[in-house]
Amino acid sequence: MATFLDIGLLEHFNIVIYLVFIFVLLYAILSITKILGENKNLNAMLALALAFILALSGPTRELIKFVTPTFFVFIFFAFFTILIYKFMGASDTDVSAIMGTKSGTRTFILIIVLIIILTSLGKIFFTEPVTSNVNETTAANASSVGTKGESALTATLTHPKVLGLALILIIGAYAMQFLSATPGIIKRE
């Protein structure tokens, strides 16, 4: 059953999401490490070129698809651990002391990151595909969505998945507008 919040059609835009994600990540790494110097244009050009190459690579997309949720769960738990520690009365200097170089926290975080990356690499590159001897049959879709003709265009544009995609994109556009605006610029009437 299709709903207005169905994100099935967003799968066709995954390559753009991967491209933007890889570009931002590589640009941030190049800007922070200053490997190529202070030239932001050079960093952006190299990051964009590498982002195109990596986004068009199937195994790289699979690796990002597997690694990203795991990193977000790890960052989520780390954030809330620090938040609970601060709720118990710790100051910012206490948190900085825990994250300092003398404690083993950085080493622990590095080990967890390496485990996540190595597990992901093992899952993506070192697992063999499972083959099946079962003959799969496909069911014909009786609707006119995707067929030729004017009525098919109307059926496609009014399909619940397409309408849900439009709703999600509109909500996302408004969210980006409100989140990126400086305070006081947007007037409410």
Q: What is the mean pLDDT of residues 41-65?
A: 90
What are the φ and ψ backbone dihedral angles of 132, each rounded to 5 degrees?
Answer: -130, 145
Q: What is the mean pLDDT of residues 119-140?
A: 64
Residues near 53 by beta carbon (within 8 Å), at least 6 away in sequence: none
Q: What is the mean pLDDT of residues 66-95?
A: 88
User: What DSSP string runs through 75-111?
Assistant: HHHHHHHHHHHHHTT--HHHHHHHTSSSSSHHHHHHH
Q: What is the mean pLDDT of residues 159-174?
A: 82
pTM: 0.57
Q: Say yes or no to pLDDT of 154 above 90.
A: no
Q: Domains of the chain: which residue ranges?
A: 1-56+148-189, 69-127
How many residues in total does the chain contain? 189
> Residue 25 has what pLDDT?
92
